[in-house]
Amino acid sequence: MARKIGLYGILAYIVYGLFFYWYLFYFADSSLPFEYEGSSADPATFLNGRELTLSEEYSKIRNLLFFLSTPFEWLLYIFVLLTGLSGAFKKWAGQSSKFKMIQVAIYTFWLSLFAYAVTFPLSYISHSLSKSYNISTQSFPSWMKDELIDFWINYGTMLIIVAVVYWLMSKSQKRWWLYAWLLSVPFTLFVMFLQPVVIDPLYNDFYPLKDKQLEAKILDMASQANIPAEHVFEVNMAEKTNSLNAYVTGIGANSRIVLWDTTLNRLTDDQILFIMAHEMAHYVEKHLYIGIAGYLLLSLLGLYLVARLMNIIVAKWGEVLRIPRVNDIRSFPLFLLLLSVLMFAASPFSNLVSRYQESRADKYAIEMTDNVEAGVTTFQELSRAGLSQVNPPLLVKLFRYGHPTMLERISMLEEYELEKRRENQE
């Protein structure tokens, strides 16, 4: 039975991978509808022939890697369960210490290390791809440093999850998922509060914006929007990437407006102000807090479904998966597997909500700056810097895009300008 499940899993993954290869490279059409040809949204008007070719190539390969990576993680967890590796990790942990917490830490370390080692080739391929297309400028040692930071942060997070969840399972087999969710609420808020001042600085250096004239303009816009910002921060990303970005991070007293130095180096002040107005819109319309609330609601549903599915799967296939009972730590790969599947399934919905919020932020930015040209050229430069498709295939948009497509964003700006002209003529 274990061999059959493993074989079916591998075959399903191969069929899945072949489908997305065919879909991305042969079926999906990312060309512009004819009515947009020659418009500001047409990449042929702002990208040269080489950039157009590279954009299509890079996007297809990157999207294929995305669709292959997540189910590969599922296959990994199935392998850990079917081969008894989860049981081996528990045995090694038990032999190493008599203290329960140390055993949990050792089990989690072996599982994390194995998962990292198996998925490392895909991570390296992704890094090499971005280097070969001149998106990434990061050296291998610098990239490995970030990878190791990721590993230890993920390990620490996973250790907390394992310790808390399985302690709750031992106390309440029926309602552990509810208690786990209740504890996740303050934990999530605490992590978001620490993110800008503890976690982010592990990867990059943050410092106040050097261009004080630009900072004054940004803070003036923030004041108009009733945003209590005192500083704008820049981060040294040029040594890692040629991509452009800006964002608002943190909650409460640790909220920050952050600009990548690549954005400062490649965009004009008007373009940067447009981006800042977009980011301020998220604060004004409380998108961050709406997003937190939505995430917590989805996590409540997700934990409930995970609990129900774990009970069903362990009751039916527990012997094959070598899981004697749900509250045994050997079931943790199953917990991660189900959580990952549910998150992947929910991503089209969460991306839809995110695209709506980003569209609202774009509208706020153009109304605040009243500078259509700055908005259009900003989106064109973002497309060039990231070699992103202006009109990606439907499945890519559903599963990957938390922002509207560049076609949608630029078209919205052009429609705004046309509407304004009509109003002025009237």
282 is in an annotated binding site: yes
Residue in 327, 337, 344, 338 with CA at minimum distance from that of residue 399: 344
206-208 and 232-235 strand pairing: antiparallel
Q: Is the pLDDT of residue 346 over 70?
A: yes
For range 16-28, the mean pLDDT: 94
Q: Which residue has the higher pLDDT, 97 or 412?
A: 412
pLDDT greater than 70 at residue 425 = no
pTM of the model: 0.90
Q: Is pLDDT at 421 greater than 80 in this prediction?
A: no
Give the per-residue pLDDT at 229. 67
Residue from 200, 215, 328, 362 carrying the catalytic annotation: 362
Summarised one tens digit per residue, pLDDT across range 183-237 is 998 988 888 888 888 888 889 888 888 888 888 888 888 888 777 767 788 998 9
Q: Give tens-digit pLDDT for 50-108.
A: 888 899 999 999 999 999 999 999 999 999 999 989 999 999 998 888 888 899 999 99
Q: Range with the lowest mean pLDDT among 98-102, 246-250, 373-377, 392-396? A: 246-250
**355 pLDDT more than 90:** yes
Using CA atoms, how far apart are residues 100 and 145, in angstroms rounded to an integer?
31
| Whole-number Å distance between alpha carbons of 86 and 166 | 15
Residues 339-365: what's their mean pLDDT? 93
Tell me the two tokens of residue 154. 């993920």
Domain count, the chain: 1
In a domain, 268, yes or no: no
Rg (CA), the chain: 24
pLDDT at 2 over 80: no
Chain-centroid distance of CA 258 in Å reads 18
How far apart, in Å, are the Cα atoms of 415 and each of 281, 366, 407, 412? 20, 11, 12, 5
Reply yes or no on whether the pLDDT at 256 is more than 80.
Answer: no
279 is catalytic: yes
pLDDT at 405: 93
Q: Which of 314, 343, 309 is nearest to 330 (CA)?
A: 314
**Shortest CA distance to 359 belongs to which of 405, 390, 314, 328?**
405
* 28, part of any domain: yes
Mean pLDDT of 382-409: 92
pLDDT the model gives residue 426: 63
According to the model, what pLDDT value does residue 69 have? 93
Q: Please give the mean pLDDT across all residues of the chain.
A: 89
Q: What's the mean pLDDT in 115-120? A: 94
DSSP code at position 200: G
pLDDT of residue 402: 92
pLDDT of residue 159: 94
Cα separation, 281 vs 273, whole angstroms? 12
* Mean pLDDT in residue range 252-271: 86
* For residues 330-338, average pLDDT: 95
H/E run at residue 259:
strand 256-260
DSSP letters of 285-310?
TTHHHHHHHHHHHHHHHHHHHHHHHH
Confidence (pLDDT) at 268: 92
Among candidate residues 279, 408, 419, 426, the one labeled active-site is 279
User: Is residue 219 within 8 Å of 208, Cβ to Cβ?
Assistant: no
> pLDDT digits over 130-182, tens only?
999 999 999 999 999 999 999 999 999 999 999 999 999 988 888 999 999 99
Round to whole Å and give the CA distance between 269 and 106. 51
Q: How far apart are CA 18 and CA 246, in angstroms?
A: 36
Establish if 204 belongs to a structural domain: no
Q: Which residues contact 234 (CB under 8 A, 6 or more apart)?
A: 206, 207, 208, 209, 210, 258, 259, 260, 261, 264
> Residue range 352-375: average pLDDT?
91
Determine whether the annotation assigns residue 358 to a binding site.
Answer: yes
pLDDT of residue 16: 95
pLDDT band at 308; cut points 50, 70, 90: very high
Query: From its phi and psi, is residue 322 left (phi > 0), alpha (psi between -120 and 50) or beta?
Result: left
- Average pLDDT over every residue of 120-127: 93
Q: Which of 317, 93, 84, 305 is nearest to 180 (CA)?
A: 305
DSSP 127-146: HHHHHHTTSB---HHHHHHH
In a domain, 234, yes or no: no
pLDDT tier at 396, thresholds 50, 70, 90: very high
The type of residue at 364 is: Y
**How far is the C-alpha of 38 from the C-alpha of 42, rounded, in Å?**
6
* Rounded distance between C-alpha atoms, residue 309 and residue 297, angstroms: 18
Task: Specify the pairing of strand 232-235 against strand 256-260.
Answer: parallel
Would you say residue 9 lies in a domain? yes
Q: Of 248, 250, 249, 245, nearest to 272 (Cα)?
A: 245
More confident residue, 3 or 363: 363
Q: By residue range, what is the domain housing residue 403?
A: 2-131+306-425
Reported as a pLDDT band with limits 50, 70 and 90, residue 123 is: very high
Q: Given a cut of 90, is residue 330 above it in pLDDT?
A: yes
Which residues are within 8 A (CB) of 180 and not within 5 positions of it... i.e. 6 or more apart? 164, 165, 168, 303
Q: Residue 150 catalytic? A: no
Residues 6+ apart with CB under 8 A from 353: 291, 294
Q: Is residue 371 domain-resident?
A: yes
Give 360: exposed, middle or buried? Use CB within 10 Å, 0-12, 13-18, 19+.
Answer: middle
Distances (CA, A) of 212 to 231, 232, 238, 249, 275: 10, 9, 20, 21, 17
